[in-house]
Amino acid sequence: MGEVAIVTDSASNLPPDVAAQHNITVVPIYLHWDGHTYRDGVDITPGEVYRRLRENKHLPRTAAPSAGDFLQTYLRLGHEVEGIVSVHLPAELSGVIEAARLAANLAREEVPVRVVNAGTAAMGAGFVALEAARVAARGADLEAVVQAAREISPRVMVYAVLDTLRYLRRGGRIGRAAALVGAALRIKPILYLNNNVVDVLAKPRTRSRALRVMLDEMARRVDGRLVHVAVLHADAFEEARLLREQVEARFRCAEVLTTAFTPVMGAHTGPGLLGLAFYPEE
């Protein structure tokens, strides 16, 4: 590990092997479900969450890690490094970043911690943490790593195609996607993050059309440049594999990852979701 450690939380969707390879510490979010408490990615996997969602009438409640959870992590890492960069979703989407900020303040006498708003969600935030880790591994100091994370954040986009409106209708409404609750059941909406709020990009009537629109929008934003991509899925492995093949055939990819969509948001969007997180190189 270099002189700067990188921390994020499980809502960032980093595949465990990628997090381990780049020495990124992932603090789990909690899910409360049917009287039990689970640590996301530790006591229950995203796949298990989505399978249970299909069978269970009750939605899980999610809870941010406590400031104490983050403080424990920061102090442990503080014995090994000179500083920490902690990357999290915007406060509009999750309370995690506030807990991280409180812990950073409590840890300040032991180790400097810079909390970075990723400005995006799911593996979009994962890409911000991953870029910070890569810069840190090259020996950059704390402020240079923070700057790298903040510079990449505006370039990252996340799109997601819903398979069903059922979970929005069950009360899990997020951002402007709440407007979809009264929409026709047949639509396959594409969601994205707009100024830290979940918004609706398009409302195609078929899944195949939605995926084409999502890929076309990605192509417009990438504009022929080399691109880093993650395929997101909510218990839709085969479709994710096919989507990845389309991405690799159509774009000049610096890297392509496949990862499970965070149950923190997936509990509100349901199984079957497919998405793309990406950013072009400058």
Predicted structure pTM score: 0.93
Average pLDDT over every residue of 72-76:
98
What percent of the chain shows pLDDT beyond 90? 71
Q: How many angstroms separate the Cα of 61 from the Cα of each of 9, 37, 58, 160, 268?
A: 17, 9, 9, 21, 10
Residue 172 clears pLDDT 80, i.e. is over it: no
- Quote the strand ranges of 43-119, DSSP E: 61-63, 83-88, 113-117
Q: What pLDDT, on a 0 to 100 scale, did the predictor assign at position 185?
A: 64
Q: If you search the block for the tokens 């409360």, which residue do you land on?
A: 32
Query: Which residue did the predictor score with more confidence, 180 or 61?
Result: 61
Domains 4-29+64-154 and 156-280 share a fold: no
Average pLDDT over every residue of 159-173:
75
Taken as a whole, the chain contains a residue count of: 282
What distance in Å separates the CA atoms of residue 212 and residue 205, rounded to the nearest whole number?
12
- For the record, the structure tokens of 210 come out as 């939605």
Q: Which segments of the chain does DSSP mark as H helices, in order?
A: 16-21, 46-55, 67-78, 96-106, 123-137, 142-152, 166-169, 207-222, 237-250, 263-269
What distance in Å separates the CA atoms of residue 149 and residue 127, rounded to the nearest whole number?
9
Neighbours of 253 (CB within 10 A): 16
Q: What pLDDT, on a 0 to 100 scale, did the predictor assign at position 16?
A: 94
With the CA atoms of 97, 103, 109 and 115 taken in that order, what torsion angle do they form, in degrees rounded to the nearest 10? -10
pLDDT in tens, 182-229: 555 678 889 888 777 778 899 998 999 999 999 999 999 999 999 999
Q: What pLDDT, on a 0 to 100 scale, did the predictor assign at position 238?
A: 97
Q: Domain 156-280 adopts which CATH fold?
A: Hypothetical Protein Tm841; Chain: A;domain 3 (3.30.1180)
Beta bridge partner(s), residue 33 = 36
How far the first Cα of the chain sits from its last, in Å, is 27
Q: How many angstroms separate the Cα of 48 from the Cα of each of 31, 77, 239?
A: 12, 30, 18
What's the mean pLDDT when you consider all of the chain?
91
Neighbours of 28 (CB within 10 A): 17
Q: If you search the block for the tokens 């990406």, which residue do you land on?
A: 278
Q: What angle do CA 209, 269, 64 make, to 5 degrees?
A: 145
Q: Domain 4-29+64-154 adopts which CATH fold?
A: Rossmann fold (3.40.50)
58-67, 106-115, 160-169, 230-239: range with lowest mean pLDDT: 160-169
Which amino acid would we find at residue 14? L
Locate the domains of the chain by residue range: 4-29+64-154, 156-280
56-60, 88-92, 98-102, 248-252: range with lowest mean pLDDT: 56-60
- Is 25:7 a contact under the CB 8 Å cutoff? yes
